[in-house]
Amino acid sequence: MRYTITTLALAVSSPAFAQEVSLPQSVEWGASAEAVEGALEGKCADGLTVREISPPFLPNASEQVQIDCAGLDHFGAPRFAEFVIGDDRLQMVWVMVEPEEEDSAIAAMREAYGQPSAESELFIAFESHRTAWRHEPAEFLYYSPELSEAMSAWFASAAG
């Protein structure tokens, strides 16, 4: 069975940018670890590993696993991506890029998502699209509707 991710870029001015910075179309928020693994089949060109994260860092999660996908096609190149699953529900996806790509990635996000809702030395957040850019390490963050409230609180506290 195949699952698809709900595209986060709902209102964009350039479909090319939206495709480049939108959530990889591999799984659905809330999908089980088994479903995420199945959806990633054949998409991790350099391998896929599953590992337990203990203790969990996701809010209110009693168990957490992470599926690491090496070679996922995203933002124009094969990337290392982390699919974070708490209590058997997909909650976050992190996609790493090279540090020298930061300016072009942020420009593409601004083009696709508009003005950020919060910024700090750690991140640039686009909360209405449940996505953010993290400066160190250089990576895209996508998060589930279930995490929206917790992420908004963290963005507000970190932005000062």
> Is residue 115 situated within a structural domain?
yes
- State residue 45's pLDDT score: 93
Q: What is the pLDDT of residues 18-75, one digit of tens each?
A: 457 888 776 689 999 999 999 999 999 999 999 999 999 998 899 999 999 999 999 9
- 77: domain range? 15-159
Contacts of 137 (CB under 8 A, 6+ apart): 96, 99
> Is residue 10 situated within a structural domain?
no
Span 99-105, mean pLDDT?
95
Q: CA torsion angle for 87, 152, 111, 142 (degrees, to 10)?
A: -10
Say how many CA atoms lie within 13 Å of 53 toward its Cβ: 19
> Is residue 9 situated within a structural domain?
no
> Is residue 3 situated within a structural domain?
no
> Is residue 4 situated within a structural domain?
no
> Is residue 7 situated within a structural domain?
no
CA distances from 60 to 55, 64, 141, 145, 149 (A): 11, 10, 19, 14, 12
With cut-offs at 50, 70 and 90, classify the pLDDT of residue 5. very low
pLDDT at 122 > cutoff 90: yes
- State residue 25's pLDDT score: 76
Q: What is the pLDDT of residues 126-154, one digit of tens each?
A: 999 999 999 999 999 999 999 999 999 99
Provide the β-strand partners of residue 133: 124, 140
pTM comes to 0.85
> Is residue 39 situated within a structural domain?
yes
> Is residue 121 situated within a structural domain?
yes
Q: How far is CA 85 from the centre of its chain?
A: 12
Report the domain count for the chain.
1
